[in-house]
Structure 1
Amino acid sequence: MATNSSVRGGPRDRLLEAAKRLTYSQGPGIGVDALLREAQVARRSLYEHFGGKDGLLLEVIRQAATEDEEWIRSTLDAGGDDPRGRLLGLFDELDRVVTRPGFRGCRYLGADLGFAAADHPIHRETTAYRQRVRAVLENELVDLGHPSPQHAAEQLQLLIEGVLATGAAATVAHPGRVARALADTVLAQAA
Structure 2
Amino acid sequence: MQAKPGPRERLLSATRELTYSQGAHVGLDAILRAAQVARRSVYQHFGGKDRLVAEALDTTETLTRLRAVMAAAGDDPAARVLAAFDDLRTMTADPSFRGCRYTAAELALPAADHPVHVVVRDYKRELHEVFETELTRLGHPDAVLGATQLVVLIDGVLALAVTRPASDPALAARPLAEMIVAGTAR
* Match status 1:12 vs 2:4: no
Q: How does 1:138-153 map to 2 (within 5 A)?
A: 138-153=132-147
Q: After superposition, give the CA deviation of every residue in 1:160-191 in whole Å (9 maximum; x if it has no partner).
A: 1111111122344321111111001111227x
Is 1:25 the equivalent of 2:21? yes
* Aligned with residue 65 of structure 2, among 71, 77, 100: 71
- The answer (yes or no) to whether the contact 1:97–1:103 under 8 Å persists in 2 is yes
Which residue number in structure 2 is paired with residue 155 of structure 1? 149
Query: 2: distance between equivalents of 1:118 and 1:41?
Result: 29
The residue aligned with 1:4 is none
Aligned to 1:3: none
Query: TM-score, normalization: structure 1?
Result: 0.91
**Identity between Structure 1 and Structure 2 (%):** 47
Alignment of 1:90-129 (within 5 A): 90-129=84-123
Aligned pair 1:60/2:23, yes or no? Answer: no
SS of 1:142's equivalent in the other structure is helix
Query: What is the deviation of 1:148?
Result: 0.5
Equivalent residue letter for 2:122: A
Cα distance in 2 between the residues matched to 1:173 and 1:12: 40
Question: Following TM superposition, by how much is the alpha carbon of 1:8 offset from its aligned partner in structure 2, in angstroms?
Answer: 3.5
Whether 2:39 is the aligned partner of 1:43: answer yes
Alignment of 1:77-92 (within 5 A): 77-92=71-86
Unaligned runs of 5+ in 1: 1-6
Deviation at 1:55, TM superposition (A): 1.1
Query: C-alpha separation between the residues in 2 aligned to 1:186 and 1:8?
Result: 47
How far apart are 1:56 and its partner, in Å? 0.5
Q: Which amino acid aligns with 1:46?
A: V
The offset of 1:118, in angstroms, is: 1.9
Which 5+ residue runs of structure 2 have no aligned equivalent?
Answer: none
1:180 and 2:167 matched:
no
Cross-structure match for 1:136: 130
Kindly tell me the number of residue pairs found equivalent between the two proteins: 182
Alignment TM-score, normalising by the size of structure 2: 0.94
Give distance in 1, aligned partners of 2:148 and 2:135: 11
More displaced 10-residue stretch of structure 1: 26-35 or 167-176? 167-176
Q: Displaced runs of 4+ in structure 1, greater than 4 A?
A: none
Q: How far does residue 49 in structure 1 lie from its aligned partner after superposition?
A: 0.7
SS in 1 for 2:141: coil
Q: Return the alpha-carbon distance in structure 2 between the equivalents of residues 97 and 22 of structure 1.
A: 19
